[in-house]
Amino acid sequence: MHKKIEELTHLNVYPDSLCQGPSASFFLGRRDTDMEKFVGSVGDGGISGQTVGELDSKPVTIGPLNHANAQAIRSALPWTAPKVVGLATSAGLGDRLGLATPGHARAMGDHDVVPIFAQQSIREMTRTNRTADQVMDCATWGVLQEGFQKGFGSDADHLQELADIDVTVAAGFTMFTIDPGKHVRDAADSMDAAALAEAFETVDFATLATSASDLKCTYVGKTISLAGGVEIDFDESTFLRAAVKYGNAIAHVVKMYRHLVEVCDRPFELEVSVDETESPTSTAEHYFFAAELKRLGVKWVSMAPRFVGRFEKGVDYIGDLDIFRASLAEHVAVMRTVGPYKMSIHSGSDKFSVYPIVTELAEGLVHLKTAGTSYLEALRAITKIDPGLFREILDFSRGRYETDRATYHVSAELAKVPEPKDLTDDQLPALLDDFDAREVLHVTYGSVLTADGGERFRTRLVEALCRQEQTHYAALERHLSRHIEPLAR
């Protein structure tokens, strides 16, 4: 059938995409003259497009990779649509260009880790001029191209407003990561007793369905015994710091969750993230946050505290690994006592030194979240495919770094990133292994992809990667498999 379809369609059909649906066979093919891809069906598959002939008395139709056809494919082939993942070990593999899913699928191999192929935050969608529908559709096409039928999830990441939920529910996302970071009061860590008492009165007790006195009575003077023999002593200071720091964040999560329940008429799962804040989440604060969510009827599948040390973008963990291990053990104790739920590792790209620790202590109750590292691997491929384009991107990124770093926790020094003119073509790939260069290239992705309407870099970047897509996929497979393998059990 493969060869006959190619003869009829004049496409190079991806062999792994050939599959059988309830009433038709489907495939994905590429026209090498312009690298455009098409979806096709043999039989009545619901694809909108052009009928190009017959095969075994069945019409052969090819159509564009548009939203309507993505919806038709998800309806006909349920494995091309995301599912809820539950407590299975999982890994989010963000795709800022819309081209990475085939490489991500290859990186999964035979490991017992569930991939989250459709993952992007509202912030990233804004910076890359993408829509929630586009994120979902690109995952569907990549899954079909690779014939990846093991199932995958989707994550509407770092949602902060009710409207964010509406948009991503409509696009078919299955996991929703609530980011109440704007409501976290980091200053609680340094407040004196008087300031804490005053700030405590500003907590949204109405949404928390309690009063200041009742909430205080629930915790103050209590010793909480956690799994593994860990104990938390809630004296008044410990309680007030937790309540002031996270009380309004909890209330915000409750509001977002209740709205999600109202507007989403299908199974979904919730993640809670407070990782993008200044100060680490203590064991007591983690317990307070989780216990209050549970009391208020919120159901969640994973939580991302702000861990000790530094989880900077696109580079390994910065900090004392022994201290991290000891702290994580206590967070896991909270997770097992209040949950179970998964420990979510945000800014998880390239944290190779912590993966074995997390896997060992959490025993599979892990969700890893990566995004920017796939963009960096696309740039690594570009150093080989089009060194001149990479030089332009590097020069532009150096000029944007001091501005674009403002919304990220990074410490790269621009002076340590060489100028393109000082490097030979053979030296370019090594930049993708350099701490400072990785962070500079990582945080400037939004500016690169939208410069001059995207024509300056994005269009050329996408064209180059599509022209030699196997080079791109190989880079992704090699690098992302290093993230997946330590999580597999």
pLDDT attached to residue 1: 82
> Measuring CA to CA, which residue among 200, 192, 296 is closest to residue 244?
200
pLDDT attached to residue 180: 97
Residues marked active site are found at 157, 271
pLDDT attached to residue 407: 85
Non-local (6+) Cβ contacts of 167 within 8 A are: 122, 132
Overall average pLDDT of the 288-302 stretch: 98
pLDDT attached to residue 177: 98
Q: Output phi, psi for 241, to 5 deg.
A: -65, -40
Condensed to tens digits (0 to 9), the pLDDT of residues 321-366 reads 999 999 999 999 999 999 999 999 999 999 999 999 999 999 999 9
409 confidence band (pLDDT: 50, 70, 90): confident
Each as own residue / partner, the long-range contacts of residues 396-401 (CB below 8 Å, 24 or more positions apart, any chain) are: 396/444, 396/447, 396/448, 396/451, 396/456, 396/457, 397/440, 397/441, 397/444, 397/447, 397/448, 398/440, 400/444, 400/447, 400/448, 401/440, 401/443, 401/444
Condensed to tens digits (0 to 9), the pLDDT of residues 223-243 reads 999 999 999 999 999 999 999
Overall average pLDDT of the 89-108 stretch: 97
Q: What is the pTM of this model?
A: 0.96
pLDDT attached to residue 400: 97
Percent of all residues in the chain with a pLDDT value above 90, rounded to a whole number: 97
Please confirm whether the linkage preceding 340 is cis (ω < 30° from 0).
Answer: yes
CA–CA separation, 65 and 139 (whole Å): 12
Cα 55–Cα 58–Cα 61 angle in degrees, nearest 5: 85
> Measuring CA to CA, which residue among 342, 350, 276 is closest to residue 307?
276
- Name the least confident of 30-34, 285-289, 471-475: 30-34
User: Is residue 159 pLDDT above 90, yes or no?
Assistant: yes
pLDDT attached to residue 377: 98
Question: What is the rounded average pLDDT for all residues in the chain?
Answer: 97
Condensed to tens digits (0 to 9), the pLDDT of residues 431-463 reads 999 999 999 999 999 999 999 999 999 999 999
Overall average pLDDT of the 95-108 stretch: 97
Condensed to tens digits (0 to 9), the pLDDT of residues 4-50 reads 999 999 999 999 999 999 999 999 999 989 999 999 999 999 999 99
Condensed to tens digits (0 to 9), the pLDDT of residues 113-153 reads 999 999 999 999 999 999 999 999 999 999 999 999 999 99
CA–CA separation, 65 and 79 (whole Å): 17
pLDDT attached to residue 474: 98
Overall average pLDDT of the 89-105 stretch: 97
> Measuring CA to CA, which residue among 29, 58, 291 is closest to residue 144?
29
pLDDT attached to residue 133: 98
Overall average pLDDT of the 251-265 stretch: 98
Q: Output phi, psi for 175, to 5 deg.
A: -120, 140
Q: Partners of 270 in the beta sheet?
A: 176
Condensed to tens digits (0 to 9), the pLDDT of residues 167-226 reads 999 999 999 999 999 999 999 999 999 999 999 999 999 999 999 999 999 999 999 999
User: Is residue 489 pLDDT above 80, yes or no?
Assistant: no
